[in-house]
A and B are shown apart, each in its own frame.
Chain A
């Protein structure tokens, strides 16, 4: 079954050429040109991905995104907008958008981003290849509930933390670069920086390692990235 995409765009010309090109890629594409109608449509019949313009008649794109996230709707969202300032980019992503393309954008880039988001979403939604649990010494990580059990406490990890850990676990024993983690877990380049990954790793070690200063499971490979050895 082809993946269903919803394009929300009120500029007729732009909408037509985007829809045409996504259909050529083999997706089932629907179009909405009004913000309120788009929100209803997403709620009633969630697509696999929403391409969302910001300036719309009715509800604007940012409001649609934040409303959906408040309702815990995790439908992937790619913002398309004429306001290309950094503020808008940060705003869109912090509201829970998955990616951001400033107009005018390149046709090939649009298609690549769409594919990347769909791939990432499929990965996060599918069961981990490691099985539901990961055992690190006496510590158990449950990928479904995000809960880490050590012999003395129970801690709930955040979505990003669990995804990083899952990525490392699915390729245990291999060296994984920071860029690979960014691409797999965040998906967009340069935001946030690779430094952010290091901070996440520090937090993971504090939870998982008996001695975070001398890690036994999550190793730093100087100059390249990280490796998980259970």
Chain B
């Protein structure tokens, strides 16, 4: 690893500097004592006052050297600390990027591999059954959808990290919006959804950003929500803020710091999560978009029963 050898190089340079400096301080502190000894050896008859004056001067310069040397060493140590800190950050970033690369590779290549085999099977005329041909085409379409979602998510996160999010705000009712969007997202019917909404939770927000937030939360809940997945969506007026809460009934998260799920490319540590498709961008997008909308996010395991819940808090619309 390149950064490790750089770290070793920096550290050795710093060590050599500290050694030189220590030697330098030591050398100069010895000078004063040496002066007196030399003068005595040379047979000079120093009066006690003169000897005292020489010793005094030596001690003064010794104090000065000690102080200057100590100051320089302290400065160096601060420098070393800064270097180590930035190196550590670099290593972390490097690891994150490697995680991303391997996850993205898997996520992009799996649907491509599958779609390619379906299309080739059809092209090579290996499927005689009409039913099966239709099924192969449907699977190909699903693979392409999955690929499209993945690309969309990557582009979205790239946009968020490079530009400011462009918002077009409009007044809307979060309850109403959530009911419609959730119905739309789960219309394939392979998931059990419960929607609990309070009437009239007015906010001023960006519908497309909200939709991305909601769809990522729901996709996440479906993914980890057990078999068959069961999720609960709740909209409420919570202490002067609009609250959107999406909860699944899966095994929850075995993580000491649940808020880490909002960092990019971070995924749960257990085997169940590691082996599920995904790159760890969904909740990062949720957090970034919510922040852009002036809100905040929170994640924790459900208090009653199993499951994992993400809460999104948004400011309520000012009363007219």
- Residue B121 contacts which of A10, A17, A84 (CB distance < 8 angstroms)? A17
The answer to whether the Cβ of B90 comes within 8 Å of any Cβ in the partner chain is: no
The answer to whether the Cβ of A198 comes within 8 Å of any Cβ in the partner chain is: no
B104-151 CB contacts (< 8 Å) to partner A: 105-106, 109-114, 116-118, 120-121, 124, 126-127, 132, 136, 139, 142-143
* Nearest-CB residue, chain B, relative to A53: B110
Digitize A41-54: 1 where CB-to-B-CB distance is under 8 Å, 0 elsewhere. Answer: 00000000000000
- B-contacting 9-mer, from A101-109, A128-136, A177-185, A212-220: A101-109
Residue contact A107 to B272, C-beta cutoff 8 Å? no
- Residue B275 contacts which of A14, A24, A57, A105 (CB distance < 8 angstroms)? A57
- A14-B110, A17-B136, A21-B121 known; A104 and B116 CB under 8 Å? yes
- A17-B121, A84-B109 known; A11 and B126 CB under 8 Å? no
- A13-B114, A14-B114 known; A57 and B105 CB under 8 Å? no
- A21-B121, A24-B126, A107-B120 known; A14 and B113 CB under 8 Å? yes
Closest CB of chain A to B223's CB: distance in Å? 13
- A57-B271, A103-B113, A104-B112 known; A17 and B106 CB under 8 Å? no
Measured in the bound complex, the distance between the Cα atoms of B275 and A55 in whole Å is 7
- A20 — which chain B residues lie within 8 A by C-beta? 121, 127, 132
The answer to whether the Cβ of B102 comes within 8 Å of any Cβ in the partner chain is: yes
* Nearest-CB residue, chain B, relative to A24: B126
- A104 — which chain B residues lie within 8 A by C-beta? 109, 112-113, 116-117
* Nearest-CB residue, chain B, relative to A58: B271
* Nearest-CB residue, chain A, relative to B107: A82
- Residue B124 contacts which of A14, A83, A107 (CB distance < 8 angstroms)? A107
- B118 — which chain A residues lie within 8 A by C-beta? 13, 17
- B126 — which chain A residues lie within 8 A by C-beta? 21, 24
- A17 — which chain B residues lie within 8 A by C-beta? 114, 117-118, 121, 136, 139
What 6 new A-B contacts, CB under 8 Å, besides A13-B143, A24-B126, A57-B272? Answer: A11-B114, A17-B139, A55-B275, A82-B106, A104-B113, A104-B116
Q: Could you name 21 residue pairs across A and B whose Cβ atoms are closer than 8 Å?
A: A13-B111, A14-B110, A14-B113, A16-B139, A17-B114, A17-B136, A17-B139, A18-B117, A20-B121, A20-B127, A21-B121, A21-B126, A55-B275, A57-B272, A82-B109, A84-B105, A103-B113, A105-B116, A107-B117, A107-B121, A108-B120
